[in-house]
Amino acid sequence: MNIKISDTQKLISFRKHLHSIPELSGNELNTSKEIVKLISKFSPNEIITNIGGYGLAFIFNGKLPGETIMLRSELDALPIDETNDFDYKSANKNVSHKCGHDGHMTIIAGVASLIPTNRSFSGKIILLFQPAEETGEGAFNVINDKKFINLKPDYVFALHNIPGFPLGSILINNNIFSSSSKGMIINLKGKTSHAAFPERGISPAFALASIISELKKFSKNKLLFSNFVLITIVHANLGKEAFGTTPGNAQIMATLRSFQENDMKKLSQEAEKIVKNTAQKYSLDYEISYTDIFLATYNNKNCVEIIKKAVTQNSYQAINTKEPFRWSEDFSYFTKNYKGAMFGLGAGENNPDLHNQNYDFPDELIEYGVNMFMSILKNISNIETK
């Protein structure tokens, strides 16, 4: 075991503190301050703040020439009201860490605590704390920030806790770790009328129903796609709550998902065609926009082999996932631009799902995550722990 029990207890206290002060994507100011306050104690050679928002990079330079390894965590929480009643529950109404980013940050902080002060390793270690992962904006903004461009990592690694698997198991995918997804917003525009004379208006009601039905139907046509695709209707709205007026506007919001980027392109094109044809049929104007855009996370094969070696070195249980996870991760922007890989950390078979109101990151995972990352660092830079 790389990390001492006493240090683990300190990290658990830190994790609980982060859990109690969650902040939404793009608003992670206080969380960043707490991270700087802690990791500054471990004497990084350089601290870079405000990368792509409130992002942070802590740089540890080795004495020997070598490659640059980046470990990435997320800073943000979710707009979910916490239902847990423990003493470290969220102090911010309708905001809570329901994806485990408090645990991910703590794991990276644990790595920082083990980096030796003599720095006799080779290359450079960068610990990155990224903002706004939940909206899909953070990684893109970080990568395109001038402060980040100069860092030029040779390898980038990240993990994500995943409920439903044995506690501490390591989940590995040799190719695509998680899905591509994006939010589609469809606005339909007609004309209101008195409810007694609906024929004098242009109601989007039937178009709304037809679009929802057609989107679901075509996305299930396996002949159109090479792999898994999914359209989930997440919100629909029609007119106003007024019995005397027919609706003039409607909105549909849907999440599009796919394992393959080519399928996402086709999924989007076909969905747009359905909206266009339906709007024309019912004499409606329409607008389509997209938000929360995530690419599929492709793992580099060499990086996956480094992860597998770390699993063996720690005698952890490895689980090879047969297909990508359906949820999305903006770590995909890193693996698109750099050699990198993400692995999963089993959060327990009976733990509530991610984004569930009563989910809480299992503190037992801190040790697993720290040990995995330290082994990865050792395999590339020959780092020795304190």
Convert the pLDDT of each residue in 206-224 to its tens digit.
999 999 999 999 999 989 9
* Domain assignment present for 194: yes
Q: 355-358: long-range contacts at Cβ-Cβ below 8 A with a sequence spacing of 24 or more? A: 355/78, 355/80, 355/98, 355/99, 356/98, 357/80, 357/81, 357/82, 357/83, 357/96, 357/98, 358/82, 358/83, 358/84
Q: Is the pLDDT of residue 55 over 80?
A: yes
| pLDDT tens digits, one per residue of 178-204 | 999 999 999 999 999 999 999 999 999
Are 313 and 286 a contacting pair, CB within 8 Å? no
Do 30 and 162 fall within a single domain? yes
What are the Cα distances from residue 245, in Å, to 98, 192, 197, 204? 41, 7, 9, 13
Confidence class for position 2, pLDDT limits 50, 70, 90: low
* Domain assignment present for 386: no
Q: Is the pLDDT of residue 171 over 90?
A: yes
What per-residue confidence (pLDDT) applies to 6?
60
End position of a domain, from candidates 259, 277, 293: 293
Mean pLDDT of 289-314: 97
* Domain assignment present for 33: yes
What per-residue confidence (pLDDT) applies to 38?
97
Are 322 and 351 a contacting pair, CB within 8 Å? no
What per-residue confidence (pLDDT) applies to 275?
98
Are 155 and 340 a contacting pair, CB within 8 Å? yes
SS3 344: strand
What per-residue confidence (pLDDT) applies to 386?
65
**Other CB atoms within 10 Å distance of the CB of residue 265:** 12
* Domain assignment present for 193: yes
Share of the chain above pLDDT 90, in %: 96
Confidence class for position 1, pLDDT limits 50, 70, 90: very low
- Lowest mean pLDDT of 126-130, 173-177, 262-266, 382-386, name the range: 382-386
- Here the CATH number for the domain that contains residue 245 is 3.30.70.360
Mean pLDDT of 80-100: 97
Do 207 and 242 fall within a single domain? yes
Do 196 and 303 fall within a single domain? no
Query: 344 phi and psi, to 5 degrees?
Result: -100, 155
Q: DSSP for 5-46?
A: HHHHHHHHHHHHHHHHS---TT--HHHHHHHHHHHGGG--SE
- Here the CATH number for the domain that contains residue 63 is 3.40.630.10
Do 134 and 204 fall within a single domain? no
Domain holding 279, by residue range, is 180-293
Number of domains in the chain: 2
* Domain assignment present for 303: yes
What per-residue confidence (pLDDT) applies to 87?
96
Confidence class for position 7, pLDDT limits 50, 70, 90: confident
